[in-house]
Structure 1
Amino acid sequence: MNVKDYEYIVEIARQKSLSEAANRLCITQSALTKFLQRVEAQLGTPLFNRIGKRFVLTAIGQMYVNKGLEIMRLDQEMEDELAKMRSDGADAIRLGYSMGQTSFIMNHLLPAFYKRQSAMSVSLKEDSSTGLIRDVEDGKLDICLAYAREEKPGLSYFPLASSGMALAVPKHSPLMRKAVSRPDFPHPVLEDRSWMDEPYIRLASFTQSGRIAQEYFIQIGRYPKSRIYVENVRSAMSAVENRLGNCILAELPHAIHKVEYLSLPDLRITKQRTCLITRKGSQPQEAMKLLIHLAQTLYQQPEKS
């Protein structure tokens, strides 16, 4: 039987009437009657009890319809996936990027890529670094732009930058006036912990930045006043930009959010490496090599204001 056969039986069950089902299926009632008789003969059992003009499912008929609905659902899922693959292109690059890197991907990397590879398709996925790296390992992504604190066997790493951890604060925050310049820090330094009495945006610990911030608070034995909990860097940056609180996170050189960074003297944690990551042993197509080259070239370029 094909999927269309199941659709016919399911429609009869829904309408409880051959004539109504035939109308909805746009076939004649006689054709639908012959079809049902043929199916029941093949199965050796009736699927419906005839009660007057009503068709009511038997126990076997109910099981048949349940399985038919499942087959129809799987068929639709397959059609949807095939349509997506046709839309993306069979040779599309499956690129993942960590939340917070949207500006670099959309404003810099892809425009430069399409100047050289106008016919190439790219399928994008945004997720946490942990999720992206897992997807590369599982073959669900070809390449990802993510933070990497350690290298995993079976993966190749193409470094783009090392990102320090800092306290992100809104533009013109009063904390900027409390900070002092020190030659051994990349940003003005807050030498006391008065910032911990201000509202804080807590970033989920399953993110790299959130986990490092959590380790820092455990190390100093103190926690800030959390106002909002968010699950990704993009939301954290947006909350800071809108003056809802401050947040410890990795610096993003191409972030579009209007925030400023402050260094914390006791936040001496190893910098996070921002890398492009692929599976070892895979032979990257020319388009993938171009993508890697462009990312390595563009990532360190300063954002134009």
Structure 2
Amino acid sequence: MNVRDYEYVIKIAENQSITKAAAALYITQSALTKYLQRIEDEIGLPLFLRSGHKFLLTDAGREYVETGRVILKLDQDLMHKLNQDADLRQKEVRFGFGMGREHFLYTKVFPRFLKEHPGITLKNHADSSRHLKMYLENGLLDLALVTNLDPAPGFKYIPVKSCYLSLLVPTDSSLINKAENIEGYPFPVVSLSDCAEETFVSTDTTTHSGSFSDKLLNQYLPEAYISMEVSDIRSLFNAVRVGFGIAITLSYDFVGKDLCYLSIKEAQPIEENIQLVYRSDLAMSKSMKDLIDIILEAVKE
């Protein structure tokens, strides 16, 4: 039994006539008669008493019609909501990204996207990759830019770029003059022995960067002074930028003209992957596809 069955029976009850109901439904009288016979056969009870040319509801018929009206109303409300949601989905993109990606996104990606899509609202959310994946799973985000997530069923992954374990320093740091180019390293290379007099800042050890930093400093610079421990990569960038120290971190993103990355001689070139992730069952809008294309183009600039 489907929604159409209820609609047909209700129309017969309202008109008390197969002929009038068929005309109102724009179907033939014979087709409507067959529909009614099938429905009554499925239920095992007559829905109408035939009194001459009139079709009068039985007790079962009245219950069927009352229930049918409720079901039709629910169906109409659902379709209305789905249509509203579909309209809204065409007008917004719910986008998540890791902390510390703001400079890249707000200077290289979002201006171009909004220029090309002036009617679209970007709903942005910065968080850890683990949390962003949870939001994707629960349908709270459409798309996320994440770091080093293992592939999982039900998701599609688009490689964006690689990031490397590095030393983050201000562009006026004396370490830059000590750095040299070495094959196999993505940035000019310095030794941690050159950093013996430096002050460090770090993310906490529950993060990837904080864990790597803790291990390297304990092994090669156990006496290193850490002036500040922060909770996220965005705060780490700011701490280095204003001069609280240098930092061992993954080269997550473009950090602006006042900061730069150096490779660390004692560290093997650790590589992690930045990916765009979305649910494989997502009905992707044109604006979402365009956002992906803009991000992929921006990382090549």
TM above 0.5: yes
Mapping 1:82-161, distance limit 5 Å: 89=88, 91=90, 92-161=92-161
Per-residue CA shift, 1:145-188, capped at 9, x if unaligned? Answer: 12125323332111111111210112221222333332332322
2:105 alignment partner AA:
I
Q: In the alignment, which residue of structure 1 is the partner of 2:294?
A: 294
TM superposition shift of 1:294? 1.3
Q: In the alignment, which residue of structure 1 is the partner of 2:270?
A: 270
The 3 A distance-change label for structure 1 pair 267 and 297 is same
TM superposition shift of 1:224? 3.3
TM superposition shift of 1:115? 2.7
Q: Under a length normalisation based on structure 2, what TM-score does the superposition of the two structures give?
A: 0.64
Aligned partners of 1:158, 1:241: CA distance in 2, in Å? 31
Q: In the alignment, which residue of structure 2 is the partner of 1:180?
A: 180
Q: In the alignment, which residue of structure 2 is the partner of 1:283?
A: 283
Q: In the alignment, which residue of structure 1 is the partner of 2:229?
A: 229
Q: In the alignment, which residue of structure 1 is the partner of 2:169?
A: 169
Q: In the alignment, which residue of structure 2 is the partner of 1:245?
A: 245
TM superposition shift of 1:220? 5.7
TM superposition shift of 1:253? 4.5
Aligned partners of 1:214, 1:151: CA distance in 2, in Å? 27
Aligned partners of 1:137, 1:220: CA distance in 2, in Å? 41
1:164 alignment partner AA:
Y
**Equivalent position SS for 2:213:** helix
Cα RMSD after superposing both structures: 2.6
TM superposition shift of 1:217? 4.6
TM superposition shift of 1:222? 4.0
Query: Which blocks of at least 5 consecutive residues in structure 2 are unaligned?
Result: 1-83
Per-residue CA shift, 1:44-96, capped at 9, x if unaligned? Answer: xxxxxxxxxxxxxxxxxxxxxxxxxxxxxxxxxxxxxxxxx99x955421101
Give yes or no for contact 2:201–2:247 (8 Å, CA) kept in 1: yes
The 3 A distance-change label for structure 1 pair 207 and 300 is farther
2:250 alignment partner AA:
A
Aligned partners of 1:232, 1:219: CA distance in 2, in Å? 23
TM superposition shift of 1:117? 1.8
**Equivalent position SS for 1:122:** strand
Give yes or no for contact 1:149–1:272 (8 Å, CA) kept in 2: no
**Equivalent position SS for 2:186:** coil
**Equivalent position SS for 2:209:** helix
The 3 A distance-change label for structure 1 pair 179 and 284 is same
Aligned partners of 2:220, 2:236: CA distance in 1, in Å? 22
Per-residue CA shift, 1:226-280, capped at 9, x if unaligned? Answer: 1101111111111111121010112244322611222112221531211111112
Do structure 1's residue 203 and structure 2's residue 203 form an aligned pair? yes
Which entry has the higher C-alpha Rg, 1 or 2?
2
Aligned partners of 2:252, 2:183: CA distance in 1, in Å? 21
The 3 A distance-change label for structure 1 pair 179 and 107 is closer
Query: Which blocks of at least 5 consecutive residues in structure 1 are unaligned?
Result: 1-84
Q: Percent identity?
A: 25
**Equivalent position SS for 2:264:** coil
Aligned partners of 2:153, 2:224: CA distance in 1, in Å? 37
Aligned partners of 1:141, 1:215: CA distance in 2, in Å? 34
The 3 A distance-change label for structure 1 pair 136 and 214 is farther
Give yes or no for contact 1:101–1:254 (8 Å, CA) kept in 2: yes
Give yes or no for contact 1:144–1:276 (8 Å, CA) kept in 2: yes
Give yes or no for contact 2:129–2:149 (8 Å, CA) kept in 1: no
The 3 A distance-change label for structure 1 pair 210 and 130 is farther
Aligned partners of 1:206, 1:192: CA distance in 2, in Å? 22
